[in-house]
Amino acid sequence: MKISARNVLKGTVKEISVGAINTEVTIEIAPGIEIVSIITKSSAERLDLTEGKEAYVAIKSSDVLVGVD
């Protein structure tokens, strides 16, 4: 499925931390550049996520804040 999220970036699952309802997934999208996602525990199981697996992060452009010093 191709989706409307403007930011779809390929990477590798570095770390998975499971909670009561949510699961925290860390994905490396470039050397030293990691993005952390929180998804539901059942979604993580449905996607069969494991450390080292290839995965995408998908982020809507309206969910990206911009900051400056």
Q: State how far the Cα of 33 lies from the Cα of 11, in Å rounded to an integer.
A: 10
| 12 touching a copy of itself, by CB under 8 A | no
| 67 touching a copy of itself, by CB under 8 A | yes
CB contact at 8 A, 56 and 13: no
Q: Which of residues 26-45 bind a copy of itself (CB under 8 A)?
A: 27, 29-31, 33, 35-40, 42-44
| 62 touching a copy of itself, by CB under 8 A | yes
Q: How many C-beta neighbours within 10 Å does residue 24 have?
A: 14
Structure tokens belonging to residue 41? 């525990």
Judged by the rule CB under 8 A, the positions of this chain that interact with a copy of itself are 1-9, 17, 19-25, 27, 29-31, 33, 35-40, 42-44, 46-49, 53-69
